Amino acid sequence: MRILAFSKKSCTFATSNIVKITNEGTTVPSFYSQMIAKKKVMELIDERMAELDAGLFVVSLKISSNNIINVEIDKEDGNVSINDCMSVSRNVEHNLDREEQDFELHVSSAGLDKPLRVLKQFVKNIGREVTVKLNNKTIETGELIQVDEKGLTIRQEKRVKIEGTKKKEDIVEEKYFPMNEIKETKIVISFK
């Protein structure tokens, strides 16, 4: 395959079976497609979430260069349902034109096994046990008791030996971690 001519408006290749005529009459290679605008997808997601009024929020929106759209959503109270995912997915899918831009769409819940990534997720999980991995490779586990944009605080309960005796005493300690020192924070999954 040899490129004969290329400009913003047209593209001509020596092999004609890979050239596609667009509505404007310009030629574009069939493997080339414009990336779907992230802003447009976000507007469609926000529109549906506002209609549902169920406390849904976006955790992650990624669009690859070949228009694979991955959306992760969460809910302020409770869990994301399949119907929540379907509703958001349908609104995006029905409002993007596949004739103009082909795409693949995946909408899912954020998942318990993934780290917390946005402030609303941290707030939702206050009172739950979390594991905090720090940039210096230290790992701390405790109950998430406070969070804001700057950092989070966990409460740890420990049994400590009292000096001079064989007895152990329960102590409660609160530790604060600035967000810029945290590599990741995950919910501790317990089956108790």
Among residues 57, 87, 109, the one where a domain terminates is: 109
Please compute the mean of the pLDDT values over residues 44-73 and round it to a whole number.
Answer: 95
Query: Are residues 97 and 63 located together in one domain of the fold?
Result: yes
Residue 186 burial (10 A CB sphere; 0-12, 13-18, 19+): middle
In this structure, of 39-48, 51-60, 117-126, 154-163, the range with the lowest mean pLDDT score is: 154-163
Percent of the chain residues past pLDDT 70, beyond the cut: 82
Is residue 192 a part of any domain in this protein? no
Is residue 160 a part of any domain in this protein? yes
The CA distance from 116 to 118, in Å, is 6
Q: Percentages helix, strand, coil for the chain, rounded to the nearest 5?
A: 20, 40, 40
Query: Are residues 45 and 68 located together in one domain of the fold?
Result: yes
- CA-based nearest residue to 112, from 26, 187, 19: 187
Strand 11-13 to 19-21 pairing: unpaired
Q: Helix, strand, or coil here: 92?
A: helix
Among residues 109, 131, 152, the one where a domain terminates is: 109
pLDDT, averaged across the chain:
84
Is residue 176 a part of any domain in this protein? yes
Model confidence at 13: pLDDT above 70: no
- CA-based nearest residue to 90, from 52, 59, 54: 52
Query: Are residues 103 and 50 located together in one domain of the fold?
Result: yes
Confidence of residue 157 (pLDDT cuts 50, 70, 90): very high
Query: Are residues 148 and 169 located together in one domain of the fold?
Result: yes
Model confidence at 12: pLDDT above 90: no
Query: Are residues 180 and 138 located together in one domain of the fold?
Result: yes
DSSP code for 191: -
pLDDT of 161 reads 83
Q: Give me the residue label for tokens 């804001």.
A: 148
Tell me which residue range forms the domain holding 69: 38-109
pLDDT tens-digit series, residues 61-95: 999 999 999 999 999 999 999 999 999 999 999 99
Please compute the mean of the pLDDT values over residues 33-50 and round it to a whole number.
Answer: 90
Is residue 91 a part of any domain in this protein? yes
Model confidence at 158: pLDDT above 60: yes
pLDDT of 18 reads 36
In this structure, of 16-20, 37-41, 132-136, 172-176, the range with the lowest mean pLDDT score is: 16-20
76 and 83 Cβ atoms separated by less than 8 Å: no
Give the residues across from 12 on adjacent strands.
Answer: 5
Is residue 114 a part of any domain in this protein? no
Confidence of residue 44 (pLDDT cuts 50, 70, 90): very high
Q: Give me the residue label for tokens 């409660």.
A: 172
Domain count, the chain: 3
For helices 82-95 and 38-52, the axis angle rounded to 10 degrees is 130
The CA distance from 15 to 12, in Å, is 9
pLDDT of 147 reads 97
Model confidence at 126: pLDDT above 60: yes
pLDDT of 23 reads 47
Is residue 140 a part of any domain in this protein? yes
H/E run at residue 27? strand 27-29
Among residues 109, 131, 157, the one where a domain terminates is: 109
The reported pTM is 0.75
Q: What is the CATH number of the domain that holds 75?
A: 3.30.300.20
